[in-house]
Structure 1
């Protein structure tokens, strides 16, 4: 006997209506399995979403409480913070990852850096030249943000051993070129590995469980 609740037809992946009695039993089984597991996945997703919301709210409240003790104000999501259990076996980390890029000032920085390279004598600062070439692979359409910012740590000098003024202007231009495109806040959980002092991450990604 046909189930009165069952539709008279099913829609296939091409959008065609197929009479239900033409749908193969194995296709019905696969459909039921996929829908049932998806319902479970969506339920787990909602649990994780609510847990994430709770984790952010509670860590922010704890941070506010600590700041209140010192009469300070909690600003925006600009820094990282961690909370550890008293015995140090558990740690909750709230991390802010910023996505950065560069504005047109970077072109001025590259021009000044090129002037510095041209003024350096042959064979000098070869390591720095390599760093610069890796940072600015413009011909390949690549600019390595971390390497470009890392150039600012270098204290370059001119042929007389004095701080290179052009290099300093180039580094200032790099600093002015930095644009924060956006940021994302993450909460991560760690626990001590038994028998060691090492903290290992608690994965919430189903693929890592």
Structure 2
């Protein structure tokens, strides 16, 4: 990995810039037979402000669905369901921010979600591929050391 990072650093230095620490990269062998993909993934978590967001969203849902069926509330409230370890699913909660709802209370809830979000750790993943001579597609080379 040190060699791969050094190669990427050397490549971008030619243009007088520094490589971003975050970001994915794909490197190919000269003949195109092999490929290395480096992927960075942030592990996200929410702090205590997520509960303010949940309270604001609940208020919105109560106001908006006053004369509606209760099943409608379940759709949005499912975003705050916790897993076996008691953790909120960040993907579900962040999906709520995609909705373009102009209600002032909803906007405060979305701000509370943004403010409560933090990067806990960043993980780096490396995958190796080999091009299939017949199809031309890259096939993952499984490097599961536990199976070796």
If asked which structure has higher relative contact order (CA below 8 Å, sep 6+), I would say 2
Query: Does 1:107 find its partner at 2:46?
Result: no
| Deviation string, structure 1 residues 132-189 (Cα, Å, up to 9, x no partner) | 2321115973411111111111112xxxxxx112111111111111121112212210
* Alpha-carbon separation, structure 2, partners of 1:139 and 1:179: 19
Report the TM-score, using the length of structure 1 for normalisation.
0.61
* Alpha-carbon separation, structure 1, partners of 2:146 and 2:133: 23
**How many Å apart are 1:199 and its aligned residue?**
1.8
Partner-residue secondary structure (3-state), 2:13: helix
Query: Does 1:97 find its partner at 2:36?
Result: no
Aligned 8 A contact 1:136 1:142 in 2 = no
2:15 to 62, 65, 70: 70
Partner residue, 1:169: 108
Partner residue, 1:120: 64
* Alpha-carbon separation, structure 1, partners of 2:15 and 2:70: 52
CA distance change for structure 1 residues 112 and 71 in 2, over 3 Å: closer, same or farther? same
Residue segments in structure 2 that go unaligned for 5+ positions in a row: none
Partner residue, 2:92: 147
**How many Å apart are 1:193 and its aligned residue?**
2.8
Partner-residue secondary structure (3-state), 2:77: helix
Partner-residue secondary structure (3-state), 1:167: helix
CA distance change for structure 1 residues 136 and 82 in 2, over 3 Å: closer, same or farther? same
* Alpha-carbon separation, structure 1, partners of 2:110 and 2:71: 17
From the two aligned structures, give the one with the greater helix fraction.
1
CA distance change for structure 1 residues 192 and 131 in 2, over 3 Å: closer, same or farther? farther
Report the TM-score, using the length of structure 2 for normalisation.
0.83
Partner residue, 1:61: 6
Residue segments in structure 1 that go unaligned for 5+ positions in a row: 1-55, 157-162
What count of residue pairs does the alignment treat as equivalent?
A: 145
* Alpha-carbon separation, structure 2, partners of 1:142 and 1:206: 30
